[in-house]
Structure 1
Amino acid sequence: MPDHSALFRAAAGAAGAAALGLGYATLIERNAFALREVTMPVLDPGASTLRVLHLSDLHMMPNQRLKQNWLRELDRLEPDLVVNTGDNLSHPKAVPAVVQAMGGLLARPGLFVFGSNDYFAPVLKNPLRYFDRDHERVYGAPLPWGDLRAAFSERGWHDMTHVRREFEVAGVRIAAAGVDDPHLERDRYDTIAGQPNPLADLKLGLTHSPEPRVLDRFADDGYDLVLAGHTHGGQLCLPFVGALVTNCRIDRSRVKGPSRWGAHMRLHVSAGVGTSPFAPARFCCRPEATLLTLVPAPRNEALAAADRAAESAISPR
């Protein structure tokens, strides 16, 4: 005869553990904001060190005071450059909250591209759909992305959506380019295609979703580093396993942090600061911003990059 009391205790224990895990994920970890610090050797030899603050996926709601206060404190890091890779909004009235949370960071040099949740509000979804990379997209109500773009631009940040720019920050010459959100299939890489200025100390690409088709184009054109977000680092991860999904076509090993893309380009994917209001939980994946310290690449890598640039310049496209 089965021991029904033992089965009941086991079921109750499992339910209790699940409830504790859910409580931790929704009440504690999703508000346990972390600053990651990463050093990446991507600059040309002889260039000065460059400190870049990478922000992504704020998914801001007007009443999220804890998140806003934490973001406001990041200005004390005194980064040379701020890069925002999109999904700032989760509510039609969140633009003032985002701008106020950015605080002094908006007075520093900055670049941005937008993601799907700058254009459209999040909607309730079946979480199992994330395991199907080809699931049908469902869009919410339009969000005031134009107001956010104006607020960022008025304070001096550059919108990199299908734009190439060259500028200097902290003595480092930067050639940057960006695309609109590949997750919404709004990317038009042909508008920025071509080799960046080989005299730049840093060739920098921006995209919200790190889709391989876009990363391949940046790599082929000779970019040193691409910054992206979108994945939330997997958001709900398992110990010793990591992310279960990426919500795009990159593999799970690249779901957050630095990695190589191809032989020479580096990629950094931010795990993001927020979550959708319909999935307000994180597990084994704290919300984060990243302070990237960019340093000169080893000389052999720099020489290989110069050779590739020369070949690209003389080869027919």
Structure 2
Amino acid sequence: MRVKKLKQLALAGLTAGSSALAWGYTERNNFQLREYELPLLKPGVLQGRDAFTILHVSDLHMIPGQQAKVDFVSSLDALDPDLVINTGDNLSDLGGVPWVLDALGPLLNRPGAFVFGTNDYWAPRPVNPLKYLTGAKREPSYVDLPWEGMRAAFIERGWQDATHQRLEFKASDVRLALAGVDDPHHDLDQYSKIAGAPHPDADLAIGLLHAPYRRVLDAFATDGYQLALAGHTHGGQICLPGGRALVTNADIDRKRASGLHRYGDMWMEVSNGLGQSKYAPVRLFCPPSAALIRVVER
């Protein structure tokens, strides 16, 4: 009798697990838009307009054939953002670049800036889910992806590479000071190259990084940046109900694995991302998303 009950329990567990995986596989195309409002601008900067809008996209992890993702990302242009920020990991396949450019096509006509993640530089590798859940850092594959051509296309269309650069420009008459680093997840960041306070005449100062590591976030906050934008975590990707992350794949705490949060005197928004590795095509209680941040006057 006891053996029979154990078999029944095992079968029930397998059935539940299979159902969860099937649901998680479909959830990877449940694209959503998250919207936030931040009162960061001095009175009068907007000259009567309601807000300065930032569209944040990250972690497309594009694979040829992902037309639903292409269509969703392209449709975000209808939001009429004043600035587009891309925080990396655009690729998950050697053939992904044309699909990334199709997805971002209309957004590349708008003011934009980007930093890359290691999955722009190197192809993904098969994932051991148990190792992922322990939070252990995985060695890159070091199989090169065609990121240089993608970067050239971004720049040719007008986006600016913020990797270890301090950028100053206007978008919709708002004076911006942006700075970014290369991917901290594999220690590619060199904050010393951009260290220091943003330009004092800037209306809005934003720090960019792919993976939300505290050493970089602390530096941005100390230097006086108002907002940091990151991706990488996928919001946990495999979450408990309510979007509660099990792991972050970085050293940020799990409560701030996605969404808009305070980080010291600075705000930080961590993207859920719009994709995931082709070797882990599942999301649970963590749908893929982009973010629209409405920056308003204080």
Q: TM tier, shorter chain?
A: over 0.9
The residue correspondences of 1:223-302 to structure 2 (distance < 5 A) are: 223-240=225-242, 242-262=244-264, 264-297=265-298
Whole-angstrom distance in 1 between the partners of 2:243 and 2:98: 38
Cα offset, 1:162, TM superposition: 0.6
Secondary structure of the residue aligned to 1:31 is coil
Q: 2:42 maps to what in 1?
A: 44
Cα offset, 1:74, TM superposition: 1.1
Cα offset, 1:198, TM superposition: 1.8
The residue correspondences of 1:80-119 to structure 2 (distance < 5 A) are: 80-119=82-121
Deviations 1:232-285 (CA, angstroms, capped at 9, x unpaired): 0000001157100000000001100000111x1000000000010000000000
Equivalenced residues, count: 294
Q: AA paired with 2:140?
A: V
Q: 1:5 maps to what in 2?
A: 4
Tell me, yes or no, if the aligned pair for 1:42 and 1:266 is still in contact at 8 Å: no
Q: 2:176 aligns with which of 174, 188, 194?
A: 174
Whole-angstrom distance in 1 between the partners of 2:94 and 2:62: 10
Deviations 1:86-141 (CA, angstroms, capped at 9, x unpaired): 00011112111101111211101111000010000000121222344454523241
Tell me, yes or no, if the aligned pair for 1:123 and 1:140 is still in contact at 8 Å: no
Whole-angstrom distance in 2 between the partners of 1:240 and 1:113: 30
Whole-angstrom distance in 2 between the partners of 1:22 and 1:80: 38
Q: 1:312 maps to what in 2?
A: none
Calculate the TM-score normalised by the size of structure 1.
0.89
Whole-angstrom distance in 1 between the partners of 2:9 and 2:140: 39
Whole-angstrom distance in 1 between the partners of 2:27 and 2:138: 30
Secondary structure of the residue aligned to 1:174 is strand
Q: 2:221 maps to what in 1?
A: 219
Tell me, yes or no, if the aligned pair for 1:109 and 1:157 is still in contact at 8 Å: yes
Deviations 1:182-235 (CA, angstroms, capped at 9, x unpaired): 112111101111111122110111000110000000001000000000000000
Tell me, yes or no, if the aligned pair for 1:47 and 1:295 is still in contact at 8 Å: no
Question: Structure 1: which 5+ residue stretches go unaligned?
Answer: 298-317
Change (3 A) 1:4 1:127: closer
Q: 2:167 maps to what in 1?
A: 165
Q: 1:29 maps to what in 2?
A: 27
Q: AA paired with 2:225?
A: Y
Whole-angstrom distance in 1 between the partners of 2:202 and 2:168: 8
Whole-angstrom distance in 2 between the partners of 1:100 and 1:94: 10
Tell me, yes or no, if the aligned pair for 2:227 and 2:268 is still in contact at 8 Å: yes
Deviations 1:45-101 (CA, angstroms, capped at 9, x unpaired): 332221110000000011111111111111111111100000001111211110111
Q: 2:16 maps to what in 1?
A: 17
The residue correspondences of 1:41-80 to structure 2 (distance < 5 A) are: 41-48=39-46, 49-80=51-82
Whole-angstrom distance in 2 between the partners of 1:122 and 1:136: 10
Tell me, yes or no, if the aligned pair for 2:54 and 2:293 is still in contact at 8 Å: yes
Whole-angstrom distance in 2 between the partners of 1:179 and 1:163: 8
Secondary structure of the residue aligned to 1:286 is coil
Secondary structure of the residue aligned to 1:152 is helix
Change (3 A) 1:163 1:148: same
Cα offset, 1:3, TM superposition: 4.0
Decide which structure has the larger Cα Rg and report it. Answer: 1
Tell me, yes or no, if the aligned pair for 1:210 and 1:229 is still in contact at 8 Å: yes
Whole-angstrom distance in 2 between the partners of 1:129 and 1:10: 26
Whole-angstrom distance in 1 between the partners of 2:241 and 2:136: 27
Calculate the TM-score normalised by the size of structure 2.
0.95
Whole-angstrom distance in 2 between the partners of 1:233 and 1:7: 35
Tell me, yes or no, if the aligned pair for 1:212 and 1:249 is still in contact at 8 Å: yes
Whole-angstrom distance in 1 between the partners of 2:87 and 2:137: 23
Whole-angstrom distance in 1 between the partners of 2:183 and 2:101: 21
Whole-angstrom distance in 1 between the partners of 2:17 and 2:138: 30
Change (3 A) 1:200 1:117: same
- Supply the RMSD in Å over aligned alpha carbons: 1.4
Secondary structure of the residue aligned to 1:227 is strand
